[in-house]
Structure 1
Amino acid sequence: MANHRQTGGPYLAGVELGGTKCICALADTSGAIFARERVATGHPSETLSRIETILHGWRREHDIAAIGIASFGPLDTDPASANYGQLLATPKPGWAGADLRRLLWDTPFLIDTDVNGAALAEGVWGAARDLRSWCYVTIGTGVGVAPIIDRRPVVGLGHAEAGHMIVPSPQPGWVGSCSFHKGCVEGFVSGPALEARCGQPASDIADSDEVWDDVAQIVATLCHNLAVTVVPERIMLGGSVAINRPHLLEVIRAKLNASLAGYAHGARIAQMPEFLVTAKLGEDAGPLGSIRLAQLAMATSAP
Structure 2
Amino acid sequence: MQRPLIAAIEAGGTKFNLTVGYSHDQPLEKIRFSTTHPEQTFQRCQAFLAEAADRHGPPAGIGIASFGPIDIRPDSPSYGTFMDTPKPGWTGVDFRAALAQFRCPVVIDTDVNAAALAEYRARAMHGKSLAYITLGTGLGVGLCNDGSSLHSHLHPELGHLHSEALAGEPSGTCPFHPRCIEGLICGPALAKRWDIRPEQAPDDHPLWDNLAHHLATLCRTVTLAYSPHSIVLGGGVMQRPGLFQRLNAAFSSQIGNYLAHQLFPQGIDQFIEPPSYADAGLVGAFYLAHARIAGHEV
TM-score (norm 1): 0.90
User: C-alpha distance in 2, partners of 1:25/1:48?
Assistant: 15
User: C-alpha distance in 1, partners of 2:203/2:76?
Assistant: 45
Residue pair 1:14, 1:294 contacting (<8 A) in 2 also = yes
The correspondence for 1:107, drawn from 104, 107, 111, is: 104
- 1:56-75 maps to which residues of 2 (within 5 A)? 56-63=50-57, 64-75=59-70
Residue pair 1:121, 1:288 contacting (<8 A) in 2 also = yes
Q: Does 1:22 align with 2:19?
A: no
Residue pair 1:67, 1:297 contacting (<8 A) in 2 also = no
Q: Aligned-residue CA RMSD in angstroms?
A: 2.1
| Cα shift at 1:297 | 1.8
| Cα shift at 1:62 | 2.0
The correspondence for 1:42, drawn from 36, 43, 62, is: 36
SS state of the match for residue 17, structure 2? strand
Residue pair 1:122, 1:129 contacting (<8 A) in 2 also = no
User: C-alpha distance in 2, partners of 1:113/1:268?
Assistant: 26
User: C-alpha distance in 2, partners of 1:122/1:80?
Assistant: 26
Residue pair 2:24, 2:286 contacting (<8 A) in 1 also = no
Q: What amino acid sits opposite 1:280 in the alignment?
A: S
| Cα shift at 1:9 | 5.8
2:287 corresponds in structure 1 to: 292
Report percent identity of matched pairs.
36
2:187 corresponds in structure 1 to: 191
Deviations 1:132-177 (A, max 9, x none): 1010000000001002222211111110111111111235473311
- 1:1-303 maps to which residues of 2 (within 5 A)? 10-29=4-23, 32-63=26-57, 64-101=59-96, 102-104=98-100, 105-125=102-122, 127=123, 129=125, 132-172=128-168, 174-242=170-238, 244-265=239-260, 268-269=263-264, 272=267, 273-282=269-278, 284-300=279-295
Residue pair 2:120, 2:144 contacting (<8 A) in 1 also = no
User: C-alpha distance in 2, partners of 1:224/1:128?
Assistant: 24
Residue pair 2:227, 2:263 contacting (<8 A) in 1 also = no
Alpha carbons of structure 1 residues 78 and 130: separation in structure 2 relative to 1, 3 Å: closer
User: C-alpha distance in 1, partners of 2:34/2:204?
Assistant: 31
| Cα shift at 1:234 | 0.5
User: C-alpha distance in 2, partners of 1:33/1:164?
Assistant: 35
Residue pair 1:131, 1:233 contacting (<8 A) in 2 also = no
User: C-alpha distance in 2, partners of 1:266/1:174?
Assistant: 37
User: C-alpha distance in 1, partners of 2:106/2:170?
Assistant: 42
User: C-alpha distance in 2, partners of 1:215/1:88?
Assistant: 28
| Cα shift at 1:109 | 2.1
Alpha carbons of structure 1 residues 199 and 115: separation in structure 2 relative to 1, 3 Å: same
Q: Relative to structure 2, which stretch is displaced further, 149-158 or 259-268?
A: 259-268
| Cα shift at 1:258 | 1.5
Q: Relative to structure 2, which stretch is displaced further, 87-96 or 116-125?
A: 116-125
Q: What amino acid sits opposite 1:124 in the alignment?
A: R
Deviations 1:66-125 (A, max 9, x none): 110111000000111111101100111111011101124321221111111111111223
User: C-alpha distance in 2, partners of 1:23/1:30?
Assistant: 13
SS state of the match for residue 60, structure 2? strand
Residue pair 1:168, 1:183 contacting (<8 A) in 2 also = yes
1:3 corresponds in structure 2 to: none
Residue pair 1:261, 1:267 contacting (<8 A) in 2 also = no
TM-score (norm 2): 0.91
